[in-house]
Every structure is written in C-alpha cells, then in structure tokens.
Structure 1
Amino acid sequence: MNSIKKGTFRNLTSLQFLNLVDNQISTIEPGAFEGLSSLQTLLLGSNRITGNTLQKGIFKGASSIVELQLFNNYISYESAGKLDNPPFILLKSLKKLTLNSQRHLGLQNFPSNFLQGLESIVSIHAGNLDISSLHPDTFSYTPGLQELDLSNNPISPINLDLFQPVANLTELHLNKIGLQSLNFVLHANFSKLAVLRVATNELDVIKPNHIAALPFLTFLDLRHNPFTCSCNNKAFLNWSLNSLKTQVIYLCEYTCAFPPSSKGDKLWTFDFSSCTANLDFILFISNSTLVILLMIVCLFYHWRWQGIYAYHLLLAYIYDNRHKRKRQHKKYDYDAFVSYNTEDEKWVINDLLPKLEDEYHWKLCLHHRDFEPGRSILDNIVDNIYGSRKTICVITRHYLESEWCSKEIQVASFRLFDEHEDVLVLIFLEDIPAGYLSPYHRMRKLIKKKTYLAWPQEKEKIPLFWLKLHMALKTSEGKVDEDPILSVIVPDEDQ
C-alpha cells in the first residue's frame, strides 16, 4: 500500500485498532481517516511518510486516537522554525506518540511547534532521530507529559529552559546524547521524576546540588560515563551507597577515567578519606595498622586452632550458664541428642537412626528434624542438649572443623563437668590420629576418661558396636563407673 485515499475507512465506525506498519505509504489525503470515530490505536511505522505527508487535516475524523506510532519513516524538515500546519493539532486525546528512528536525514531540525495540539500526551518516544537542538518552547504544548525518551540524539548541550514546562515528568531517558553535566536538572521542576537514565554520556562529576534537585528519584542509570575518581565525587558516592530511596543501577560497574593512575578502577572502591584528612598521618596509621595486622595474622595462624577452640569454649560457657537452670526440674524430652556434621548425615539417617529408634526404641533429637523453627540455633542447641538424657557425638574430621559442632560438644562438656552426670557418648566414625586432636585438649581428655566407641571396619563387629551403644544409653543418671565393655584405650600422643 503506497497511499490512503479520503474516505477509505468511512464505514468502520467501531474500529479501535488499525495496523498499517511495514507498507510503502507516502501519501495520506486529508480526511483519509474520516469515519474512524472509535479509533484508539493507529500504527503507521516503517512506511515512507515524510513531513509533507503530515499535511493539514490528515487526522480529521480520528480525534479519538490515544496511541500513534510513526517510527522508522522519512519525516524531516528543512528548518526548526514554526510550522504553519502542525501535524497533530487535531489529536487532542493522544496519550502516546512514537517517533523513533526516522530514516534518511531524520529529524535533525525539530520544529518548535511540532508537538502543538498534544494537550493530553503522556508519553513521547523520540530516540535515534539525529536531533541537533531543541527549542525551549518544544514541550510547552505538552504540560501533562510523564515519560520522555530522547536517547541517541546529539542534542547536548541541552537548553537549560527546555524541561521547565513538564513539571509532571516521572521518567526521562537521555542515553547517548553527549551530555557533559547534569546542570539542566537545576533549571527544571523535577519534583516528580522517578527514573533518570543518562548512560553512555560524558559525565565525570555528579554534584550534591544535582542530587538535591531530584528529591523523588527512585532509579538512576549512569553506566558508561567517564567518572573522575576525586573528592568532587565523594558526596555522590556516599549518597549512592547509603541512599535508602534511590537505587543507582549497576553502581559496582562504574569505572574511573581520570586521573590516569586510577583509570579502569571501580568508582565505588575509590578511597575518599584523603579528602578530609592529612595524607601523611593516614599513611602512618595505615602502615602501623598493616604491621599490627600482619603480626596478629601470624599469631593467629600459629595458634589458630587453640584460638578457635577457646572462642567456642567461651560461647558455650556463657550459653550454658544462661540456660542450664531451665531444665533442672523438668522431664527429659529425648533419650539422646545427636551431634553430627552434615557431611556424615547419610550414616546418621541410614544406620544410627533406624537402629536406635526403630529397633531399640530410643527417642533421638536431630537438629534438622527437631529444632524449633524461628529460634536461634544456639538456643536450640542448648535447650535440646539439656532436654536429652545423653548426647551422642559422631566424631569425624568434618565434625572437628565445624563451628556448630564445636558449640554442641562444648555445651555437652559443660553439662558433663558441672552436673557430674554420665551424659556424653563419643562415636568415632573414622580413625583420627592423636596428633590431629592436639588443638582439642578437652576432646583428648574426654576420650581418655569417658565412653568412646569406634565404628568397626569389619562387618562382623558391627552388632557388638550397636550393643555397646545401646548399653551406653541405658546407663542411669548420676555418677557411674565406666563399664569395661564400653571402654577403649586411647594411646597417649607421646607413646
């Protein structure tokens, strides 16, 4: 289709949606859309429409249009002066206008009254038009405009008065327009602006007054701008990292272009402390701190296991004293609390649980099954250990390296030593050399004095293992003598 004659749609009075995209339309006679009194959406994209095509009266009879798409056509003008016949003067109800990507010359010269008549317009998409400048009166005809896209147009610098008429603007896209500063926001009323996209421009510094001029901003896109890593951007970076109202999109990807020594560095990693303090003093403090940290790291590395053990010992002592009195006069909820690492869960579920619960009818407490949801893990550990007659610790290398397992065995140890009850049963699933237990002094003392069972490698010894464990759980509360059948001699480290 290369033309639309007058009266073509005369009888389509109920038509609401008309799609004429991707034709060869270059001529539209005045009155071509007469009769389309109910038309809401008109799509004329990807045709051969020019500025001459949009002559006076072509939208006569279609004043009900709400959305008009004219993307990818040949609309252009010889000058940016006022038009004698603005093309949209009859479209009083139009809310959305799409003009993107005009071919050939594009809309380099954007007539100052091109948008005249669009009193109800809410959204304008005018990207990739090669617009070189915009008259300050361009948006004076669109006071209700809320969304505007002018991306990929070489219109920088922007006239400072350009956006004054659009006080209702909530979304503004100015990507790739050669923008060198955000000073234009200081001369407009952007009190409702929620989204600002100014990616791929030449912005190097975002000043505090720029931020203050955007009080309602929710999303800010500043990707691919040559930021300067200097004190000038300190306020912007602090605001970006700490603002609870505005999200600076992809902040972690912003890189520095200046100075050359910081080129390519992430903007958010730039140290702004030198902006307010003496550099020599900072260097002194930094070097001193580095030396002290190095010494601490070396000491910690050398005594790391003892330190970790002492830390868990202290935590267990504190929680033990806080909670152990709660269980003094209560009945036990479980026969045994099972302390194990998740790496050994398969053995616990497939071997230990069926044997003790199904065959011997003991009631066990397992963290993944019996812990109370919503409570802290440590509170669950303490209450369930003191709520069980005994504690079974399934010892492996994974167990010794686990933070939570350390807490569990410490709580059980304090109960053992403070209440003087035979409440602890140790099961070693694998052979662990005495030297490996060196950092765990209390563990080494336990396995020399208390019940210690080793999981046998020979199948014929497994029934005896379960019998020993069953007998260990049958021992009554209070102090008891060690049963010979349960004792296993652990050689001293020096032997």
Structure 2
Amino acid sequence: MDSELPAPNFSRMADQLDLLLGVIFMASPMLGMSPCSSDGQIALFRFCNLTQIPWVLDTTERLLLSFNYISVVNATSFPFLKQLLLLELGTQFTPMTIGREAFRNLPNLRILDLGQNKIEVLNLDAFQGLPHLFELRLFACGLSSVVLRDGYFRNLNSLARLDLSGNQIYSLHLHSSFQELNSLKAIDFSLNEILTLCEDELKPLQGKALSFFGLKSASLFSRVSVDWETCRNPFRDMWLETLDLSSNGWTVDITGNFSNIIWGSRVSSLMLTYHIMGSGFGFQNMKDPDQDTFAGLARSSVIFLDISHGYIFSLNSRVFETLKDLKILDLAFNKINKIADNAFHGLDNLQVLNISYNLLGELYNSNFYGLPRVAYIDLQKNHIGIIQSQTFRFLEKLHTLDLRDNALKTINFIPSILTVFLGGNKLASLPHVRFTANFIQLSENRLENLSDLYFLLQIPQLQSLILNQNRLSSCKAADTPSENLNLEQLFLAENMLQLAWETGLCWDVFRGLFRLQILYLNSNYLNFLPPGIFNDLVSLRWLNLGANRLTSLSPGSLPANLEILDISRNQLFSPDPGLFASLSILDITHNEFVCQCELSPFIIWLNLTNVTLLGSPADVYCMYPDLLLGTSLYEISTKDCDEEETLRSLKFSLFILCTVTLTLLLVTTLIVIKFRGACFLCYKTIQKLVFKDKVQSSEPSGYRYDAYFCFSGKDFEWAQNALLKHLDAQYSSCNRLRLCFEERDFIPGENHISNIHAAVWGSRKTVCLVSRQFLKDGWCLEAFRYAQSRCLSDLKNVLIVVVVGSLSQYQLMKHETIRGFLQKQQYLRWPEDLQDVGWFLSKLSGHILKEEKGEKRSNTLPLQTVTTIS
C-alpha cells in the first residue's frame, strides 16, 4: 500500500542472509580447530607457509588457504573434491599464476575467493568447469580491463555475484558472454579508475535486472569532460535495485547531466553519498541542488535516494518535485541551514525523511508542506532551538519524530504521534500539552521536578518512557499518582531521586503501574528504598538498582515476581540471600562485602544457588577486613563461623570477663580523677626512687638559660610563688631549670629592648604568662613579638604561652599580637584546681626541655580489630 514503508528487496535480502548464514556456519566449527589441520569437512590452512595446495579428504566442504605462499594454481593442483563448496585462496604473499581450468576438480564449488592477490597471469579459461559457481571474489587483484573485454567469465551460468572492486579497470567494455550470465545479480566495480561510462559499454547487460551495481569511488565523470549526448544512457533497458555512485566527487551539474542521460532506466535505490553538491556553510562557489538537478529521474521510479555526506546548505523550492515514487530520502551529514517553501513539493509518497546532522536552527510551519504520507522524520544532531507550533501538526501520517541532541527549551509544537525522541535538549520543565505517544524519550535534558514525571505517567497510551540523565531531585506534596495500565518500561537512570525521597515525599510515584515490567533506577545516589515503593509493581520482571549507595535491603522490599536484578556497584555489607529467592538472573558484583561471620549465609548461598550470577567470581570480593581485601567470596571458608559449636561455650565467660574488666576500669578512672593530685605525687616519688642515680639536671646546651619567663611586674609575687620557686635552680637545689626573668637577670641601666633581646635569644624557650596585666604591659607585648620573630628565624616553636586567670578566648583574640599565635599554635592554661598544679609544672618543664624538630603530627586513627572469616 502507498501509506506503508517501501517493501524491502526480499531477493537481495535472501542472498545476503544466505551469505551471512554461510559465513557463520563456516566460522563456528573453526573456533575449536587447531591451525593447519582438517576435520573432514573444514580444512583450515591459514598462515601455514604453504607453497602448494595441500592434500585434504574428499569429504571437505570448506578449504581455507589464505595467507600462504601458493604461487601457481592449475588443473592438477587440486584433488577431486566433489563436495567442496567454498574455496578461500586470497591474500597470498607471492604473485600468483592461475592456469587453464585451474578449478575443474571442484565441480560443485559455490564460492571462490581470490581477493587481494597479485595475479600476474590469469588464463582465459581459468574459470571454466565451474557450472555451480555462485560468487566470485576478485577484489584488489591488480586486474585490468582485459578481464571484462575477453570473456573470462563465460559459461558461468550460476554466477550471481562478481566482485571486481579495487582493481586497475579503466573501461567497462563488457564481453558478449556477459549476456549469457542469466543468474548475475550483483556486480561491483568500486575503487577502480572508470572515468566514463557510456551506452555501448554495458550492452551485454541490457534487459537484465541487477540487485546491485557498484561504482563507488571510481572518479566517474568527475575528471574528464563528457559529451553527454554522444555518451547516452549506459543503463538503458536495465533495472537496478541499487546503484551506488558514492564518493565520485559529483557536483550539481554532473548530477543533473547524469540524471538526464539515464532517463527511463529503473533505479530503485540511488546512492550519491559523499558528494560535493552544495555551497556549504559560508561559501557561494558551489551550487545547491535545484529544480533541474533530479528532473531526469522522473521515470526512474526511484524509491530510495541517498545524498548524505555533502555540502548542501539550502533545500531549494521544488528540488525533488519529479521524484513521485520516492519513499526514503536521506539528507544527513550535509550543511542544511535553510528549507525553502515547497522544498518537498511533489514527494507525495515519501515516508522516511532524514535531515539529521545538519545546521538547522529554526523550523517554520511551511517547512514540511508536500509530505502527506511521511511517517518518520529524523532531525537529530542539528541546532534547532525554535519550532513553530504548526510545523508538524498537518502531517497526518507522522508517527515517529526524532529531535534528539538539539537546543529545544519547550515542546508546545509536539503533534499527536506515537513515538517521540527528545533526548539531549535543554528542557527544564514540560508544559502540560496533550500527548498521545506510546514511546517518549527525554533523556539528557534538565528536568528537575518529579511533577513532570507524574504528568507523563498520566498519558494513557504510554508504554515506554525514558528519562535517563536528567536532574530529577525535587518533589511537591500535591502531585497525584496515576494508574497507568499500559506502561511497560520506565528508565530513570542517572537522576537524583535520593534528594526527593529523603524529604519523605513522592514515595507513591510508582503507584498504579501494575503492568510495568522493566524499571531502571541505577545511578540515583540511593542510600535507601522508601517503604512500599514497589508494592504496586506486580508485573515487574527486571529491576536495575546498580551504581547507588545501598548498604542493605530490607525483607519484602523487592517485588515478589522479580526475575532479573542488577544491584552491582552498591555498598552492600551482608545481604540476606532470602531476598533473591525468586530471581533467575542476579548481578551483585562490585559491592563492599564485610567478610565476617555475618556474611556466611550469603557465601553458602552463592556456592549452592541456581540463580545465574553475572560477572566473574573475581568481581564478588571482600572490602573488609584489610587482610581479605580483594579476596573473592568464592574463596572464603565458613567452617569456623558455626555459632553453635564455636561461640556458645564462650558466651558466659566472655560476659563475665567483660563485666569485671569494665568495672575495674571505671573504678580506677574515678579514683584517678578524684585524687589526681595525690596520684601525681605518688608517681613523682616512685620516679625519683627508680631513677635516683640518673642526672637530674638538663643537658648542657649552647643557651645561657633554659627559659626566659616574661610576665607583668604586677604579677611578680604570684609568678614567684607559683612557678619560680618550683622550677628555678637558684631558688632550690632540687630544681633543674636555669630561668631568666626581668626582676633578677636584666642588667640595670641597660636599654630595656636590649635586655629583652638578650633574654629571648639567650634562652632555649620563652614562656609568656599572659594575664590581664600582661595584656596591658607594652614591654611584655614587645617581648612576645621578639619571641615570635625568633620562631620564624629558627623555624622552631620556641614560644610557650600560659594563660593565667579567667581570660576568655574572645578577650585574647582582641589583641592583634596574640591573635596570630592563637590561630596557629596551642597554648597552656594555669589549672584552676590546686591538685593539678604539680602535674602542670611537670608538663611545663617537659615543654621547656623538649628539643623542637618540626615533625608533623600523624592524623591517622587506629583501626578496630574485627573477627574475620578464616
């Protein structure tokens, strides 16, 4: 019927299918064969360094001899092989000579492959004696036009396919014997140098119907000046199902002249791809096709015209007017930026229009006038941002519209059609237009609100909905679920549903989808599944939850009739094998299994289940503990994880031990906290007894003092009683520190700055007792600055700050001099409880005597010891 797509060429399809099945049938037995061997039916001798035909059994059906050094083939080269159907003798590494009746001992040969040989000598009778030969491959053999002119193919009554591509043929003057080849259907002259082709050259083919005639990349008519009136129609009285004239560098003028000279010849499919027709983008030196370019094809009954991969910039008015029978038009990969009014006028039977991969920016209401029967329009990979509202609405037969990978921001123009492709655009929301589609593809857009999903689910006829790679992440409480009884496939991969569901909303988004069979939720950052989210999905068979962040699956969370589950690349620790009881196929690879005894039921199930597990055993591995990192679960033993035998006898003992240990720890901790001062004194007394022979004084160094104590003169009495008497060696022989402080050690009459400088640089450390008086004393602050300068100079932390009194952090930070230190370094506070003073003085002494090396502190934390499966 006219309203249907063009009927396929069943004869050619049958030939192709026969060839494909033959190749598969030929290749499949060879998968397990050893090289240079034969199994009685197939003889495989590729790359065997042969110089002559090997002996094979007379039952051989396929003989494969490519990639050897066979240089001569004659009548005695082959034994009598009555059952041989295929001979592959191509790509020999030496020049070849083929003698008279070289293949006569192969009477039932169907396919002869001699391709990519350098044939130096080809006897005129080389192919005689092959009455059943169906296909002859002579591509890239260095053959000249003589092979056509001198009757090499006579008597090949069964020959249907002849491949002469890639040779050195310059003329197609055919021998009269071609007229006798009644079975010939396909002939390929591509990749030769055939500059002209005129009527008298192909006369032996007149009256024949060919499924394929190839002249691709032959430089035809593009390099010479042609007298078209003298040349006349080379395809007169021929019917060509497919004529391939691609990659010949044809301009508009050449195409127009050729169309005119083949007037009346039937060509069902005309291939003119990779042409140079059109001005291109930004150029005017070449013409775009016009009303006369294809006028000569008016009586050729062209059904399929392929003029893709060119430079057409503008589709001019009535450019295809004469192609009344055209059903498929391919204009992809041009530079089309403009569609003139009535560009498609006359294409009353066109059903498929492909304008993908062009430069269209806007579409107008008048662009597709003249296409009453068009059913499929492909406009993907353009730059379309604006489409007028009535552009497609008058196309009554349109059922598929492909607008993927454009720049659309609205879809108000969508007509009532069955299939819509809108992926890869800039849609941020969907207007509530009336949809009648049963297939909608909206992936790779910018949809954020689940309200758009609720709206799409209201479409009663919808069967498949694809929303992958959007931004679905927000939800409104007012959205109402629908009972869509037709939806079977829903794809929501690579969105952000976790953000919507963690608010507690949109947990009913799948309500009423009783016939849904396939659901994709992979890569949605899911760390939980809302309770009852799949309750209504009673028909669901395939669920993809891969590449999320699920750590566990609760019982009953999966649909009861589920058959295929992908939960790979999550963070499952110890899955319950009971969840997978109904499955036939499961992908649980690349999770983060914790290989402890809790996982033993799952490990046992893995080794016993009848469920088909996708991925290799190495993809199901332990992530914890570190000792088992990367170990396959199939290699883990569970024999030591029987709780009845190994743990029951230890439970009570372990409980008692833990209780006693914890009680002692708590009592000891409370005693130490309550009487910490006394405990510290005891510790010091024991230390003196144990180390009584040790030298108590500090080791000699290059410094005059161990520490310079800087404090306000108003704090002297407190500093002397609290610190100096307990630390300075001049106060008591029991003390081991040589201290410097202003009241005793500064030289009277000396410049005060000089005294401070000498004290700071002459001491191992500087200790600043920061009190309220310290912050008011300018000399103290000046000493603080000097100490900081020394820190920068020595690249060591030689400044110790002790905060005295009830100074808050805020009060300290108000002083610019102090603030910089506090932001980068730690400081000490004078203890409020008297029993902590002894401990504090010991800690301060240790800081003073400690030699700074600038080592970095480690931020690592000790890992817990975890019982593992052995």
- TM-score under structure 2 length normalisation: 0.29
- The structure with the larger Rg is 2
Q: TM-score, normalised on structure 1?
A: 0.49
Bigger relative CO (Cα 8 Å, ≥ 6 apart): 1
